[in-house]
Amino acid sequence: MVALDANGADRGPRNVAEGGLRAGVPVTIFGPAAELEGFDGVVDAPVAITNDEDPARAVRAKPDASMVQAARAVKDGRAGAFVTPGSTGAALAAGLFHLKRMRGVHRPAVAVRVPVPGRAVLLLDCGANVDSRPEWLVQFAYMGAAYMEGVHGVKRARVGLLSVGEEPKKGTDAVVEANRVLRDGPLNFAGNVEGGDLMRGQLDVVVTDGFTGNVALKTMEGLANMLVGALKTEYTRNPLRYIGAAASWPVLRSLRREFDPRTYNGASMVGLSGIVIKSHGSADVLSFRNAIRVGLIEARKGVPTQIANLLSAQLA
Amino acid sequence: MVALDANGADRGPRNVAEGGLRAGVPVTIFGPAAELEGFDGVVDAPVAITNDEDPARAVRAKPDASMVQAARAVKDGRAGAFVTPGSTGAALAAGLFHLKRMRGVHRPAVAVRVPVPGRAVLLLDCGANVDSRPEWLVQFAYMGAAYMEGVHGVKRARVGLLSVGEEPKKGTDAVVEANRVLRDGPLNFAGNVEGGDLMRGQLDVVVTDGFTGNVALKTMEGLANMLVGALKTEYTRNPLRYIGAAASWPVLRSLRREFDPRTYNGASMVGLSGIVIKSHGSADVLSFRNAIRVGLIEARKGVPTQIANLLSAQLA
């Protein structure tokens, strides 16, 4: 069972519910029943947490909010994961308040799979935190490796630490110190890597602080969108070019399939004692389906337990 | 006159010298004369500063290094700018040691024009520093705006501050404080912007710390290269697709012209009392030509003076 928060989606709650149907998983939908007629498993929860509210305060002040109810469903064991298109801050706050931090974890992180052909790479933290401390970065490395093994069956995941140069002394003090600790540790550590290495297909996990990770992720999304837009403009500039567009259709379709961000929708909040999946707010039905499937897979594979085991081995 | 450092280029010193010829500017070339036969204006300077050396120490210890001689040529007024394919750290150290920081400037920054169709955006800092302080970010905003006005004639440049959300409270403490200062200041300030806004064509300048800027820039370069590679793979997958490739030729050519990183080669170190241009080490002749032209234009327009004027107006 997956708990769905149907509030906070740009295209409305029915889109989220439709994604739940398509995922082929039993779901409980927390959202405004009035807008969700015809769907099974709806719990009326019209109250939403908005982007303008302070996340921690809103989660405490609104126990009936759909997101909070979804988090409680996971806490009480009624659901194996909760999936929300709401704000990252609120999802994190709901996770911290109701599911709690995993024992020994300094900070949870948002982990996103970046679509690199042949070898998707897990980037974390993509925005759960804005500050950076060496011990957080080290834990992100462990959690990322455990995630890739637990969910994607990658043994000894290759882990890179994002910096401004490959030499171990390059980067902020936090990065230099995290490099030193990871270098001496048991992980399959690739050392410092640079922004361009994210796409090079040599890594399974890239670790960075939440500020840098968020900027890098959104920069990638922005650039990919811009290039697609530029391609469209060029192809429609004059009728002769329609031939090129038509003849290129199979190519563009393959590329699109490979890079379709909808396939990769569903960021995981790792480091919590329960599964929280954040979907893009602008997601369509297919995207929601994929985010829900991420939650289902993590629940089946018991990802929090796997991460806890690797971390306790580290702490031991 | 532009001073060229011919050491440090992946394709050797002749490539740099050839770029100088093509730029149609009088140049002095500091490099190994034995490898530069046939070029005019060569000063024999076979000593190079390598990537493995500590930049500041190397600049002091090797007064005869080609890069140091090029910096001194600017200091002594024999050249209006120096252009180098060597390491960013060494170029910065040579600039700081011989040209000095501009009065009142906390830290110089590496400024790079990012190719957004219709409205290139100046991103700074792309790696002169790894730390972040609010007053540095504020100065980067002023220097970036002065640069865009001085070099590209953009009046009241629109300046964004890179963060993890548009709300003024989003981001690290340094970003939140810089936002507060810039919001109350005289610049045309767009507030916080996100990674995706870099490509949206709404901004002239995007300000960030050198760590984040470096990661964002290299992430963009990496993604663009990966997409071009993927396009090639798809177009050559089977002979039928060659038709698409041929018919798409004008489109791909336009795109390539618009996004060709060679056109944008030449990062400026702003905040020094002299002009230092850092070229990609992997640059080809055309790229070097463009980097040299950037140096020439900045020299003609007196960019350091323009930046100094705007900063002293700020300090007044």
User: Which tens digit of pLDDT belongs to each residue from B181-202?
Assistant: 999 999 999 999 999 999 888 9
Burial of B97 (0-12, 13-18, 19+ CB in 10 A): middle
What residue type is B315 in one-letter code? L
Q: Which of B117, B175, B200 sits opposite A230 (nearest CB)?
A: B117
Q: Name the pTM for this structure.
A: 0.92
Q: What is the mean pLDDT of each run of 10 residues along chain A (316 residues)?
A: 94 94 92 95 94 91 96 96 94 95 94 86 96 96 95 94 94 98 96 94 96 95 79 71 69 67 85 95 90 94 91 72
Q: Which residues pair with B121 in a beta bridge?
A: B114
What's the pLDDT score for residue A222?
86
Q: Which two tokens stand for residue B277?
A: 């241009």
DSSP reduced 3-state for B186: coil
What's the pLDDT score for residue B168?
94
CB interface of A with B, residues 181-210, below 8 Å: 194-200, 208, 210
Q: What is the ipTM of this complex?
A: 0.91
- State the Cα angle at B28 between B27 and B32, rounded to 5°: 130
Name every residue whose Cβ is closer than 8 Å to that of residue A136 and which is 6 or more positions away in sequence.
Answer: A106, A107, A109, A125, A129, A209
What's the pLDDT score for residue B315?
65
Confirm if A90 and A125 have CB atoms less than 8 A apart. no
What's the pLDDT score for residue B52?
84
What's the pLDDT score for residue A258?
66
DSSP reduced 3-state for A194: coil
Which residue has 């795109």 as its token pair? B255
- Find the helix packing angle between A240-247 and A249-259, rounded to 10°: 50
CA distance A237 to chain B (A): 9
Looking at chain A, which runs of residues are DSSP E strands? 2-5, 27-31, 42-44, 81-84, 109-114, 121-124, 158-162, 188-193, 205-207, 267-270, 276-278
Q: How far apart are CA B90 and CA B58, in angstroms?
A: 8
Structure-derived torsion over alpha carbons of residues A192, A195, A196, A202, reported in degrees to the nearest 10? 50
Structure-derived torsion over alpha carbons of residues B66, B69, B71, B75, reported in degrees to the nearest 10? -170
A41: left (phi over 0), alpha (psi -120 to 50) or beta: left
B176 touches chain A (CB under 8 A): no
CB contact under 8 A, B224 and A222: no
A255 touches chain B (CB under 8 A): yes
Q: Which of A197, A221, A249 sits opposite B196 (nearest CB)?
A: A221
B260 touches chain A (CB under 8 A): no
Q: Which of B162, B223, B258 sits opposite A224 (nearest CB)?
A: B223
Q: How far apart are CA A261 and CA A264, in angstroms?
A: 5
- Residue to substitute from A214, A243, A259, interface B, most B β-carbons within 10 A: A214
- Residue to substitute from B130, B243, B278, interface A, most A β-carbons within 10 A: B130
What residue type is A162 in one-letter code? L
Tens digit of each residue's pLDDT, chain B (316 residues): 999 999 999 999 999 999 999 998 899 999 999 999 999 999 999 999 988 889 999 999 999 999 999 999 999 999 999 999 999 999 999 999 999 999 889 999 999 998 887 788 999 999 999 999 999 999 999 999 999 999 999 999 999 999 999 999 999 999 999 999 999 999 999 999 999 999 888 999 999 999 999 999 999 888 887 777 777 777 777 776 676 667 667 666 666 666 666 777 899 999 999 999 999 988 899 999 999 999 999 999 999 999 998 888 776 6
**CB B231: neighbour CB atoms within 10 A?**
21
What's the pLDDT score for residue A255?
66
